[in-house]
Structure 1
Amino acid sequence: MSTIRTLTGITTTGTPHLGNYVGAIRPAIKSSLQDDTESFFFLADYHALIKCWDPERVHESAREIAATWLALGLDTDRVTFYRQSDIPEIPELCWILTCMTAKGLMNRAHAYKDAVQKNEESDAKDPDKGITMGLFSYPVLMAADILMFNAHKVPVGKDQIQHLEMARDIAGRFNHHYGELFAMPEAVVGDTTAVLSGLDGRKMSKSYNNTIPLFVPEKKLRKLIMKIKTNSLEPGEPKDPDSCTLFEIWSAFATADEIAAKRRQYEEGAGWGQLKQELFEYLNDHLADPRARYEELMQDPGYVEQELRKGADKARNEASARLAKVRQAVGIRPLG
């Protein structure tokens, strides 16, 4: 049986929320349990520095994200779970790849072009105003993350497809010049992946400040759910479940029978207060055990650190071997 190697990075800039769980964490953990899959999960703390210059936020986010994955049952004996900054071979590979990457390719990156466009629209004298080299060369670091472990599949959102294409371009150029050292990664875009709306009806995102943190305390969870935006239909009036954030979140967690029963409630005119209370009770029950484990882990950072170090040791065993081949290929090797 051939093994498919997958790699997923989680940027350490925020607190995991319900949307992160149903859209990325849950399917990733499920995939990691398949016998034909070899999974790499990492905390992308170097990537975090591109857009977050708050050291306490970056540090606390790493702790929260690591504790979240462990609390949700990630088996660190089956997967390689590590912190990006614990693998010094990655930034070294990033530099070598940077030396093979055309500036014109980076000029076409969406994030860079969007930043330039905003400057031009604001009549800034310098189109590159406020743009760091971290933002500009971000796709090269992403390529190094992927190529270091020769990942075959990289689950990404649609906004990251271009970066995977760039990683392929960079790998192809290196392979053409120095020999076939890197596998060609493929983007995996989950068209059926659940995307949740937030408190205001827009996509749940920390950028919109509309998230429901995954392991927020019980009282806070209820308060947030009660704040979810709904329309003005009264109890007794039929409601459209397919345009409702409450139903969307319910459907991401419930069984098929539970979803069908909830749909009937909407059609029969259940009140918003009742629907919100039932969603709170359902989510609270669903998250109770992993929340308790998460709270234990947050009080035991030494254990979380130990798990990350264990993963880093596994990752570095492979990274050092691959980097040695890359160094040999580019001519950085002993003289005799």
Structure 2
Amino acid sequence: MIRLSGITPSGPVQLGNYLGAIRRWAAEGTERDVYFIGDLHAMTTSHNPSRLRALTREQVAVLIAAGVDPRSVAVQSDLVRELGALTWLLECTCTYGEAARMIQFKEKSAGRASVRLSLLTYPVLMAADILLQGAREVPVGDDQAQHVELARVLARRFNGTYGEVFVMPHGVVPTAAARVRDLADPSRKMAKSSPDSAGTVFVLDPPDLVRRKIRRAVTDELGAVRYAPDTQPGVTNLLEILGACTAKDPRDLADSLSGYAELKEATADAVVEELRGVRERTQALLDDPAELDRVRAHGAQRSRERSTHRLEAALRVSGLG
């Protein structure tokens, strides 16, 4: 069974990405799985080409440094020809109404006079990501579940119209992970592309900067360390992060800490230690571009070998080639 997950290089990898997904990929993934960097998805809004290229390389390095099997890592654009062909076939299978009703498209296009067409069609590209690799399981959060359902609809329709080509994918709820919130505004998730980096801990932040950000984290005026997501979101966020880094229950940790200063110091220590090895190994890979290129090329070749027959079959049964 093949599982597929992706990360978009819309910004540097941050703590939430690492604790919520990448660390799990390293622990649970196999060489049959696919973990891809979705650089094509990052082009649905205005982007800087040089920054996109640099962020893509950084994400490849972070995944490998975190322990994800290099054989399962791929960059989306390295299969741009295959994905472009399959996306067109799937767009010819998808209706405008199905694409336009995607919640993310509605939210991101609301109130804007002009949006890129790719913002409308990128769920079809996501379907191509999934179907090209023959993935049966796609771990996703609530914000992407609708896109996996679209992939199922298109696979079923294509298979029913032209012939059985695609494996039917299933969205699965990933293993519970820390709910990492923004340190400056715990009402929102920590995000790579946040306009204010003060509340975001990036994997490649030096230890001193990590400590400064955590020491400045928003708490409250209650003065009691309690695990209370509704009434003390800032304190709860720090407890979640500390628990994720130490493999302890945040509720038990709350009982062992006497105040906010102690909580912040303990969290900072745990985060610095958790990220230390990943940051050092990532930097070593970035300093060795030839090795990074070799790993990336090998991942692309494996993905291409696994998917070529499926694309050729889809082209043939639909009347092309």
Common fold by TM > 0.5: yes
Letter of the 2:138 counterpart: V
1:149 to 133, 155, 161: 133
In structure 2, the CA distance between the partners of 1:38 and 1:274, relative to structure 1 (3 Å rule), is: same
Measured against aligned partners, the alpha-carbon deviations of 1:235-278 in whole angstroms (never above 9, x if no partner) come to xxx43134312212101111338x57632233xxx232222122
* 1:17 is aligned to 2:30: no
Q: Which residue of 1 aligns with 2:318?
A: 330
2:73 to 81, 90, 93: 81
2:100 to 92, 98, 107: 107
Measured against aligned partners, the alpha-carbon deviations of 1:107-162 in whole angstroms (never above 9, x if no partner) come to 2111222245424xxxxxxxxx2121100111110111000011100011101111
In structure 2, the CA distance between the partners of 1:241 and 1:53, relative to structure 1 (3 Å rule), is: same
In structure 2, the CA distance between the partners of 1:287 and 1:191, relative to structure 1 (3 Å rule), is: closer
1:164 to 124, 148, 156: 148
* 1:249 is aligned to 2:249: no
Provide the rounded CA distance (Å) in 2 between the counterparts of 1:277 and 1:115.
38
Q: Which residue of 2 aligns with 1:5?
A: 2
In structure 2, the CA distance between the partners of 1:187 and 1:59, relative to structure 1 (3 Å rule), is: same
Provide the rounded CA distance (Å) in 2 between the counterparts of 1:116 and 1:260.
40
* 1:140 is aligned to 2:127: no
SS of 2:6 mapped into structure 1: strand
Letter of the 1:19 counterpart: G
* 1:291 is aligned to 2:279: yes
Tell whether the 8 Å contact from 1:147 to 1:182 is kept in structure 2 after alignment. Answer: yes
CA shift, 1:45, in A, is 0.7
In structure 2, the CA distance between the partners of 1:130 and 1:318, relative to structure 1 (3 Å rule), is: same
Map 1:175-194; keep pairs closer than 5 Å. 175-190=159-174, 192-194=176-178
1:38 to 32, 36, 53: 32
Unaligned runs of 5+ in 1: 120-128
Q: CA RMSD in A?
A: 1.9
Q: Which residue of 1 aligns with 2:293?
A: 305
Q: Which residue of 2 aligns with 1:280?
A: 268
Unaligned runs of 5+ in 2: none
Tell whether the 8 Å contact from 1:153 to 1:186 is kept in structure 2 after alignment. Answer: yes
SS of 1:331 mapped into structure 2: coil
Letter of the 2:14 counterpart: H
Q: Normalising by structure 2, what TM-score?
A: 0.90
Measured against aligned partners, the alpha-carbon deviations of 1:18-72 in whole angstroms (never above 9, x if no partner) come to 1111111111222214xxx831111111111012421122112112211111111
Provide the rounded CA distance (Å) in 1 between the counterparts of 2:111 and 2:280.
44
CA shift, 1:191, in A, is 6.8
Q: Which residue of 1 aligns with 2:192?
A: 206
Q: Which residue of 2 aligns with 1:67?
A: 61
Measured against aligned partners, the alpha-carbon deviations of 1:292-330 in whole angstroms (never above 9, x if no partner) come to 111111212221121110010111112222111112111
SS of 1:42 mapped into structure 2: strand
CA shift, 1:224, in A, is 0.9
Tell whether the 8 Å contact from 1:175 to 1:182 is kept in structure 2 after alignment. Answer: yes
**Residue correspondences, number:** 309
Provide the rounded CA distance (Å) in 2 between the counterparts of 1:65 and 1:116.
27
Tell whether the 8 Å contact from 1:11 to 1:45 is kept in structure 2 after alignment. Answer: yes
Provide the rounded CA distance (Å) in 2 between the counterparts of 1:63 and 1:139.
24
SS of 1:251 mapped into structure 2: helix
Letter of the 2:288 counterpart: D
Tell whether the 8 Å contact from 2:134 to 2:307 is kept in structure 1 after alignment. Answer: no
Provide the rounded CA distance (Å) in 1 between the counterparts of 2:308 and 2:156.
21
Q: Which residue of 2 aligns with 1:221?
A: 210
- Identity within the alignment, %: 33
Q: Normalising by structure 1, what TM-score?
A: 0.86
* 1:231 is aligned to 2:220: yes
Letter of the 1:82 counterpart: A
Letter of the 1:241 counterpart: Y
Letter of the 1:197 counterpart: R
